[in-house]
Structures are given as structure tokens and as C-alpha cells.
Structure 1
Amino acid sequence: MTPADWCMSVVTEPTSHRDLPTDADQPTVPIPADDQPTVMMRAVEEPTRLIPAVDGAERPTAEIPAVRPRGAHTPAGGGRRILGLPRPAFAGVAALAGLAVVGGALTALDAKDQVPMHTRVLGIDIGGRSEKDATRELVNGLGDRVQSPLTVRIGDQTTTVDPQRVGLTLDVEATVARAADSAPNPIKLIFGRDVAPVVSVDAEKLADAVAPTATKAGHAMTLPKITFSGLTPKATYPVAGEGVTQDAAAAAVTSGWLRQAEIVMPLTVITPKTSAADVDHLLAEVAEPAVAAPVTVNTDRGSFTVSRQAIAKSLVLKSDKYGLITPKVSEPKLRAALADELAGVEIQPQDASVRLADGTVKIMASQGGELVDTEQLAKDLLTILGQESGRSVAAAVEAVAAKTTESDLAALGIKEQVSTFTTHFSGGEDRNRNIIQVAKEVDGAVVKPGETFSLNGYTGERSYAQGYIDAPVILDGKLVKAVGGGISQFTTTLFNASYYAGLEDVFHKPHSYYISRYPSVIESTIYYPTLDMKFRNNTPYGVLIDTSTTSDSVTVTMWSTKVYDSVTTEWGPRRDVTQAKTVHLKDAGCVPAVGGIGFAQDAWRVMKSDGREVAREKFSWRYDAEPHFVCD
């Protein structure tokens, strides 16, 4: 028998150090193989042998090659001694220890709903726990880390990203389930293992969030488009840029979040999806033929013409953010361009409305209408704009119900006056025309429960076309003339009416300078589109806004159902008073002013029900000292 064919039994009884053989001992005698399970050691080139097992059955022996260091001495007895123990005996003890460890590891794997020992997620040890306890341990261990902004580096630029803004989330339960379900190498159970967290992110939102930084680090694409100058199409050709793709951004964040202090996103060349050749094709096959002739539209209520100009205004040939041009006819632009033509074949629906008559709230009935299906018309137009002849389509006229009916308004509970507020102005000023104009526009507006009323949103841009004129406004700390000046007086009046109705203040901004005709702190300015005044109807009832004007005043009254018995204001004293300075201006649009003091002040809105205070809100503002403006 050669050393490569040795067969030895593993001794399972404890052995003390003094019982171990020394270098002077005689070679050990193998213990009969039928007493204990055996481990066969053979040469690499030898075939697998069958040896008797304890139960008498023959099984393949484990293939463990015998590898000796070059020049190693093999002592008598058939094995090299290690730490005074002949190699076969040492191997037996080591195998016994290994089996014990592996057995324990396999036991850990067999535990149901339990995370294997020494398992880590993001540096947090969750091993040996039930999935429920491991989930709690991971949540506690992470703390606020999942809510903290992450730092992103792109080239030489860095930025921070709010995880919530981009839908970046860690699924803790799924992560723990992954850790519990996976079957690790038993050796890893000895030294520990790390399980990757289950992370998800909205790739599109993430790419949009880092796009400005990517543009600084690289450069943006030139997006292709075709626009019309009158009836002539003008092309903008695409140019490749350098930035971060959605996939690269998502991969960098999901692999590095909570593990790296800084997420690095690679810059790559990004090419618009519509090429220069595609743009030329769109010019020749879509844009130019589209405006070559008008289109006739036939309906059951008559026919009308879509002019070449209307086609040019409504045909959209602009790319998306990826540089892809998808031709379409914009339905809103088409309807706007055909306003006069549609008026000849349509009947506009009328919503039910609330009006005041002799101090009583009355509901005016709604009325249905008949409108051209311009959404479908826009799609049908696109299919024939490339044709030289046969440029006509049929369009359906559909019955349309009013958006708001009598029953809708009746359910809103608009039955009594809940607040009113009046401000005064001097007669004969240009600004008065603007105040009266905006009051007419807002009169009769209904704010339903939960809705937010935006003055800018309701009136849109206040321009000359709507009947507004130039009047003084405060701009950059100076009085100048601008279209719509004076609107802030109506804004203050509307704000106070909503304030004393107990409605929620969403946004308002007092004037830079104190104006004595308004209540200090409880007032508001406005400037389209950057400054707005918004309030929310936080009651269960609808609110009707009623406005009225005289030659020297404007009044806003709110009608609804009272929520509070009373709403009042308590003002604190003025503090930190500053004096006006004289300023000489040479601006062409300069408006002189006598000036006024500056100060800070607080005000509290106090709301009471059944005679007791139920809510109190603090408002604070600081007014700058208004300079004494002298126009040179």
C-alpha cells in the first residue's frame, strides 16, 4: 500500500496533549475502518475508490488530493508530522473540526424565517435573528441615513439629491427576506457575509434632477426642432452633447447609495434621437406640405376651413428631452387658432353659477352645449397634411354637459355672508381702472372645499388686451409705472376677506413699504408671474367671492357657511423703527414719493367658536423705510 492509498479512521474520543505522539514515537497504527466513518486520501491521478462504511454499504470516497511541498520528508509510519502529530492523525482532527463547524452552519441554514449567522447589510449585523427582528434591527441601525441627501459627482461638478424627490427607496423587508432566503457558502457563515440591499429609484426623475449638474460638467445637446416663421418652416439641427444617461445614473445610485460617501456618475456622449437627415425628411415630407393649402372640415352643423396660418400655429415639430421629434397637431393650439371658425358651429355650455340678488344667494341654472371634437380632429388633420389634394376631413359635434350643475352648487352650503372687507382709494387715478377691472374678473368665483384659489391663476396675465393700463408699482425698491399697477389694492382686499373668513393662507407677501390705507402686516402685494396671492378653502363648504366697487372703494365679500363665530386681529407694538432717506432718481419712469418710516410688527389672527378661542395664528413682517424719492 502506498502513502497515497492510506485509509484511516477519525478518532472521535477526546485526546489530551500528553497522549499525542512525539517525533520519537513509533509510527501510529491505523484504527480499523469499521469503527468510525473514514476519510480517504488518494493521489490525484487515482480513480475514486469505494470503501466500507459503518452500515456496511459502499460509498464513493471523498477526493482529497495529497499535495506535498517540494523536498518534504515523509517519516516512517506513512505520514509527515505536523505539530508533533502524524499527518493522517492531524488531518483526521482537522476534518472533525471542519465537520463540526459546517454542521453548525448547516443547522443555521435550516432555521426557518431566520437570517443566517454573521449576515450584514450596509455594515449592520442582522444574523441569527428572525426576519421581523432583523427588519427592526436594520431600520434602527440605518436611522436617518435613508433620508439624508446624497452627494453626486459628475466630472468636476457636485450636487446633492433628495432621495424622496427621485423616488430612491430601500425596501427593508425585501432586503431581509433576501438575506434569509439566500443559501450562502458555509465558509462565509464563519467569516461573515454581506448582502446587497434591495434599492429602487425613479430613473427619469433622477436623470432630471442631475441634468443641470451634468450640463455644467459636460454640455447639453442641441435639440432638433422645426418652427414656423409665418408660413415658412425653419429647422434647428441636432448636435450631440455630453451628459449622464438614465441607466448610468440609476446604476450608480442603486449600487452606491448608503455605501459610498459620494456617488460618481460617468459622463458619456449623448446623441439626439432625431438626426440631421431625419430633420431634412420632416421638412420635405411634413412641414412644407402641411402649410401648402388649407383644410376643409365638415360637420353636421356646417363646414369651416382650417387656414394655412392655423395649421402653422398648431403643428408641433419639437423634440422631447431625448431629441426625438414626433409630429403632432396640438389640440389646445388648434382650438385657439380656430376660435372664430368654431364659434359658427358650436354652442358653449354654461356652468351653474351663484349670484346675489337683494342680499340673497341664488343659483343660476346650467346649460349644456355642443362642441366639435377637436381632440380627434387634431389627429385626423395630421394624417392628411402631407397630401397635395383631398385635403378635407369630417369632424364630430358632440353634446357636452356643463361642468357644474345646480345640484353641485346646492350641495356646497353657500347660504350666508361669512366675511367682508373694504379698502378705499382716491378718485380719478389711473390705478383705479385696474382695480375695477380685476374686481369684475373675480366677481362670482366659486372656491370648492379643498380647492386653492390663486389670483394669478384665475385672471392670468393682466395685460393691455384685458383692459389694464399703466399705473405706479413698487419694483426693485422704486416706484415705477407698469401695466396693471394698483392691483395690489384689490389683492389686499381679497386677502383680508379670506383672512377674516378663516380660510387657510397658502401664500402672500406684504409690501416692501408700509402703506397707510392698508392694515399693517395683514396685507398683500402681487406681480405677475413671480408674486401671487393664494388661499385654500379648508372648510367643508363652498365659498362664493362677491366683489363690488364705487368711485373710491373696492369691497370683497365671502359667502359660505360660518365655521367660526368671529375672526379678529391682535397687533403687537411696532419695533426697530427706521427713518426715511432722500434719494434722487434720473429714471425716465420715476414716480416721486414723500417717503415713510420702516418698522417690524407682529399680528395674530384669533378665531373663536361658541365664545372661546379655538385657533391663533401669528403673522410677522418688516417694512423697509420708504425713501423720499426725488425725480431729477
Structure 2
Amino acid sequence: MFASETPTGQPPTTVIPPAGPAAESPVSRKRIVAVGAAAAVLLAGAGAAAWAYAGDVPRGTRILGVDLGGKSRSEAERALTEAIGPRTGDPVAVDLDGEKFSIEAADLALRLDVDLSVGRAIKGRPRLTGERTVPPVIELDEARLEEALRARLDPARITLKKPGIVFAGLTPKPTYPATGRNLDVAAAATAVRRAWLAGGTATVTLVSRPPATSREQVDALVADLATPAVAAPVTVTVGDKSLTLSPRAIARGLVFRADDNGLLTPAIDGGKLHAAAAREFAAVEREPEQATITVAGGRPKILAGTPGDMVDLARLGPALLAVLPDPAPRTVAAVLSRQEGATTEDDLAELGVKEKVSTFTTYFTGGSRSPRSQNIMTVARAVDGAVVRPGATFSLNGHTGERNYAAGYRDAPVIVGGRLEPGVGGGASQFTTTLFNAAYYAGLEDVEHKPHSFYFSRYPAVIESTIFYPTLDLKFRNTTPYGILIDTSYTSRSVTVSMWSTKVYDSVRTVRSPRRTITSPPTVYREPGPKCITSSGLPGFTQDAWRVIRKDGKEVAREKFTWRYDPEPRFICGAKP
């Protein structure tokens, strides 16, 4: 120790000198190196972890080839949307059991769910090396996919046999199912999800599958439902009234429907049930009256309909189905629902029926009391007020049904086997010709018509039509964007058909060629009797006619019609001299 000088009166201070250098041991040096290396490793690991864990999406994560690693959720969603969004309108390529085609994404409601896809990517563990592919979340409507695939499938390729139960009178007849090739919709949906946006093809194969309903289950439906269902009537109460459904009506209304996978389900077909018991339902119902269009004061006028009170078949069906397995007596309660007519005022107002666009008149003899004239008037009344909607096809046979005695038609001359004979509904062809010409000059599309085999001077040559239920019909299609009202009228010597709508064409006219290949009528002697009708005979000929349609000052259509008329024989009722 060294003593130092201190001020007088203060204690001395002792200073301890530093130790001198000592020899460094090898063990200490190794520890220092190890600690330094460990620190470096820890620092490097911390840096790597920080890199791997940066952002919400772990490094090395890809969806549909888009690198989302290290991005925040919003950045990842934006990156995926920008990269894949332009392709989400692309169709998906499909190979259906060897048939290749494509389906539009919109038809299947295909959609990339970006939010769920990125959420799935976030859940992964981080990687320091390598890549991780995350499948996207793609939504689609499987029902629409099945519909699209089955529309392209040849039904013969589906060998799965569906079950069924139908009634023969009051006896249920089962059809038993069998295993066969069918569409696996779930597998098809998986294939479509994988292929779409990835640029691949969804391969869909038919697989062998058993039907969803077994033979034993079909037998159970017969024993537990179908058989007891028709064992007794069912009483339906409607307020303070009631009606009885007979076993035959129940057999008509009880149906068993099998879907494409062979699942057999019982149901009540309300329409069939109502038709089978129409008289019984009518006792408790009030039918709605449809809104109609009529012509009054030279212009079309819409007449309002009135609502009706009808049994609510949608509610009756499940209630009836529930009691059909029960023994008699069986009763269910039904309710009436207010129902508008199928055609309303607003519906008719949208059709644009506002002006006369064509009219045609033909003339007849015999006054208003002859059977032929009566037939013309009867069919005119049946068609009066008919409305043909845009795109719809009008069928005269379909509208009037069979023109028979029950419908008010009488016997009058008709052409049968190349000669005139009395037949029910004779004269209806004159109305047919009048209607055809009204449609023709309205510019409507000719779908079906056939001129007479003989020429009659009361009709315009070529542009005329006969009719015979059910083999010969008159059909025309409304190709305009407006509705067509058919207005008919008659006098004791004429029948007129007018078409009311919105005018589309400037004019419709007919240009005819001269008659050619004219042939003289032969003389035919027939046995006298009620079926023999005399005639003076007319020559046969061939002629062309062109319908010329103009719109906006230009010719827009020129349609050619050609017909060959046979000579009408000179029929004489009596023996040949």
C-alpha cells in the first residue's frame, strides 16, 4: 500500500492498485466463442422467424399460383382478386363420360370466395423454405350443375332403374328399382371446382350406384300408403260445407315421383285431384273470372276480372297425405283462398293492344239458319276474344277442341275422299280461311295450314286454308312484341276476323302469278242418296302467291306460297247414261 498526503486533520485514503495481467486459460476462450456463436444463431433465428411470420399469410403460400406469402389479409385479398378476377367469367371445360363441352360460369353460379380462400391460407404454419399450395374456396349451385349435365347426357347412358308406383284403377302397381350407371353430382361438383380457374378440364364419369329407394321400401309404400289410401273415401270440410273425395279421385291425385337418383316420394298432385273431383270442388268454390279485352265503340277495352274463392290445394295436399294411411272414417279440413284470375287487367294492359292491324271478310250463302252458316257462326263465337301473346302460337284445333255435335256443330258439306259429303262441322273451313287471311295480313308467321284440294271462288286462290280435326290444323305464331286480340263478327251472309294490336308493318300485300297447268273437271256419276251432293265442277290449276311485307318504307320480306288445285268433278247423282 502507498500513503498519500492528505490535508491536515483528515484521515488517510487507501488506494488499491489494479491487478496485473494474468495468463488466459483455454477453457475460458472456448466459452467466449461458444457464447458468441449461440448469440449469432439466436439473432439469425430471430431474423428468420421474423421474416417467416411477417404479414398475416405465412411465407411460401400460394392460391391458384398467386404468391400471397408475407402479405396482410387485405393485401392478400387484393392480390388474389387482381390476379384471378379477370378469369372468373371464364367457362369451365367439362368431359362428361367422353363428351367434351363447356358451361358458362354464370349458368352454375360459380364464384371464387376470396375472403374464405385467404382465411384458409392464413391458418397455415409458416415455412422458412419451400412452398405451400392452398386450394381456393369456390362456390357453385349443385342443382344447376346437375341440370346442365343431365341436359347433355344421352338418357340411354343412364342405366339406373327408377322405382315407381302407379294406379291401375284402384290397384297400386309397383315398379322396382335396380342398380345402374348414374351421375355422381357431388363428385362432379368437386371436379368442376378443381378445374375452373386452374385452366383444366373437369372430368365427370358415370358411376354404378344403387337407387336411393330400395325394393323393400317400394313394397312398404304400397302396403302402408297406396293400398289404404284408396280403401275408403275422405271427407274434406270447408267451413260449414264439405265435399267427399272418392277412392278413384284419390287414386288420380296420389302420385309417386322418383328423382334422378331413384328417391321415390309420395305427394298429392293438386291439379289432378281437382280435375278428378271437379264437380265436388265446384260445390264449395267460386271460380275467378278472367280479365278480358273486347272491342266496344270501335276500340279495344279491357274488362276487369273478379277474384274467386278456391280450395287451397297447396295446404290440402299435405293434410290429405297424412290421413291416407288411416282406416275409415277419414276427415281433413281445408280452407278457401282468394285467387285472382290467371289473366289480370295489368297483364292485358302491357300487351299493347290498341289498334286494328288487319281485317278480312268472306261471304257465304244460305242465310243465317242453314247448318253450314250455323257452323261458321259457332266457330267464330268460340274464337272471339282470343289473345295471342308475343311469341305464342295459336292453334285453331287446340283452341276449339273437336268440333262435334256436343259442341253445337251440325252436318254440312265437307270434302271427303275427293268428293262432297255431309259431315259434322262443315263450313268451319270458311272461318279457317278468314282467320288465316287476317293473320296473314297482320304479318304473323305461318306455322301450319293447308289449302283445299278444290278451288272455291268464295276464297282467295292459294291464300286460304281448310281444317279437319285432329289431322289438319291452322297455326300461326305472333312474332311481334305486342299481344294480338282476335275479334270476330258475322252477319247472315258474311264472317269477319280482325286482328287488334300495335301496328308493326307499313303494309302487307299479295302478288299472284297467272294460273297455269289448267285441267278440266271430269264428270262423276254417284249413287243417289243423302250422301250425294251435286256440283257443277271447276277446273284445276297451279298458282303462286307472294306475301310482300314493308316496314319503315322498305320491303323486309317476300314469302312465296304455291298450290296445285285438283279439278272439282261435276258430280251427278244418278246412273251414268
Q: TM-score range by the shorter chain?
A: 0.5 to 0.7
- What are the within-5 Å matches in structure 2 for residues 349-428 of structure 1? 349-357=288-296, 359=298, 361=300, 364=303, 366-402=305-341, 416-422=355-361
Alignment check: 8 A CA contact 1:50 1:58 kept: no
Percent identity of equivalent pairs? 34
User: Does structure 1 residue 59 correspond to structure 2 residue 52?
Assistant: no
Greater shift after overlay, 208-217 or 233-242? 208-217
- C-alpha deviation, 1:456, in angstroms: 4.1
User: Does structure 1 residue 445 correspond to structure 2 residue 392?
Assistant: no
Alignment check: 8 A CA contact 2:449 2:472 kept: no
What CA RMSD, in Å, does the superposition of the two structures yield over aligned residues?
Answer: 5.9
Instruction: Specify the alignment match of 1:159 in structure 2.
Output: 99
| Distance change in 2, residues 1:594/1:509 (3 Å) | farther
User: Does structure 1 residue 555 correspond to structure 2 residue 467?
Assistant: no
Instruction: Specify the alignment match of 2:266 in structure 1.
Output: 327
Instruction: Specify the alignment match of 2:549 in structure 1.
Output: 605
- C-alpha deviation, 1:387, in angstroms: 1.2
Instruction: Specify the alignment match of 2:477 in structure 1.
Output: 534
Tell me the amino acid that sits aligned with residue 95 of structure 2.
V
Instruction: Specify the alignment match of 2:233 in structure 1.
Output: 294
Instruction: Specify the alignment match of 1:221 in structure 2.
Output: 160
Instruction: Specify the alignment match of 1:235 in structure 2.
Output: 174
Aligned-partner SS, 1:234: strand
- C-alpha deviation, 1:625, in angstroms: 7.1
Cα deviations by residue, 1:500-536 (Å, 9 ceiling, x for unpaired): 557xx5x643558898856879999998999953315
Structure 2, unpaired ranges of 5+? 1-32, 69-77, 418-422, 520-537, 570-577
Aligned-partner SS, 2:506: strand
Alignment check: 8 A CA contact 1:521 1:621 kept: no
Alignment check: 8 A CA contact 2:360 2:498 kept: yes
Alignment check: 8 A CA contact 1:244 1:267 kept: yes
- What are the within-5 Å matches in structure 2 for residues 7-406 of structure 1? 51=36, 59=42, 146=90, 152-154=95-97, 158-161=98-101, 163-164=103-104, 167-168=107-108, 202-211=141-150, 218-256=157-195, 264-300=203-239, 302-357=241-296, 359=298, 361=300, 364=303, 366-402=305-341
Tell me the amino acid that sits aligned with residue 221 of structure 1.
L
Cα deviations by residue, 1:527-553 (Å, 9 ceiling, x for unpaired): 8999953315624xx653212356886
- C-alpha deviation, 1:393, in angstroms: 2.0
| Distance change in 2, residues 1:435/1:573 (3 Å) | closer
How far apart, CA to CA, are the structure 2 residues paired with 1:289 and 1:327? Answer: 14
- How many residues are aligned here? 480
- C-alpha deviation, 1:568, in angstroms: 1.0
Higher Rg: 2
Instruction: Specify the alignment match of 1:545 in structure 2.
Output: 486
| Distance change in 2, residues 1:382/1:354 (3 Å) | same
Alignment check: 8 A CA contact 2:162 2:177 kept: yes
| Distance change in 2, residues 1:619/1:382 (3 Å) | farther
How far apart, CA to CA, are the structure 2 residues paired with 1:457 and 1:195? Answer: 63
TM-score, normalization by structure 2? 0.61
- C-alpha deviation, 1:442, in angstroms: 2.9
How far apart, CA to CA, are the structure 2 residues paired with 1:463 and 1:392? Answer: 39
How far apart, CA to CA, are the structure 2 residues paired with 1:336 and 1:388? Answer: 25
How far apart, CA to CA, are the structure 2 residues paired with 1:486 and 1:196? Answer: 74
How far apart, CA to CA, are the structure 2 residues paired with 1:147 and 1:528? Answer: 45
- C-alpha deviation, 1:260, in angstroms: 7.8
- C-alpha deviation, 1:270, in angstroms: 2.2
| Distance change in 2, residues 1:484/1:607 (3 Å) | farther
Aligned-partner SS, 1:334: helix
How far apart, CA to CA, are the structure 2 residues paired with 1:485 and 1:151? Answer: 58
Instruction: Specify the alignment match of 2:7 in structure 1.
Output: none
Tell me the amino acid that sits aligned with residue 558 of structure 1.
M
Instruction: Specify the alignment match of 2:557 in structure 1.
Output: 618
| Distance change in 2, residues 1:280/1:412 (3 Å) | closer
TM-score, normalization by structure 1? 0.57
Cα deviations by residue, 1:91-116 (Å, 9 ceiling, x for unpaired): xxxxxxxx9xx99xx9xx99xxxx99
- C-alpha deviation, 1:235, in angstroms: 1.0
Tell me the amino acid that sits aligned with residue 538 of structure 1.
P
Alignment check: 8 A CA contact 1:166 1:201 kept: no
- C-alpha deviation, 1:347, in angstroms: 2.3
Instruction: Specify the alignment match of 2:27 in structure 1.
Output: none
| Distance change in 2, residues 1:488/1:221 (3 Å) | farther
Cα deviations by residue, 1:346-405 (Å, 9 ceiling, x for unpaired): 222223433345646555554343323333222221111111133112222344455666
- C-alpha deviation, 1:556, in angstroms: 2.3
- C-alpha deviation, 1:280, in angstroms: 0.9
Instruction: Specify the alignment match of 1:587 in structure 2.
Output: none
Tell me the amino acid that sits aligned with residue 42 of structure 2.
R
Tell me: higher relative CO, structure 1 or 2? Use CA pairs within 8 A at least 6 residues apart.
Answer: 2
How far apart, CA to CA, are the structure 1 residues paired with 2:509 and 2:105? Answer: 40
| Distance change in 2, residues 1:288/1:134 (3 Å) | closer
| Distance change in 2, residues 1:237/1:530 (3 Å) | farther
Aligned-partner SS, 1:316: strand
How far apart, CA to CA, are the structure 1 residues paired with 2:399 and 2:386? Answer: 14
Structure 1, unpaired ranges of 5+? 1-47, 64-98, 120-128, 475-481, 581-592
Instruction: Specify the alignment match of 1:568 in structure 2.
Output: 507
Tell me the amino acid that sits aligned with residue 302 of structure 1.
K
| Distance change in 2, residues 1:138/1:372 (3 Å) | closer
Aligned-partner SS, 1:350: coil
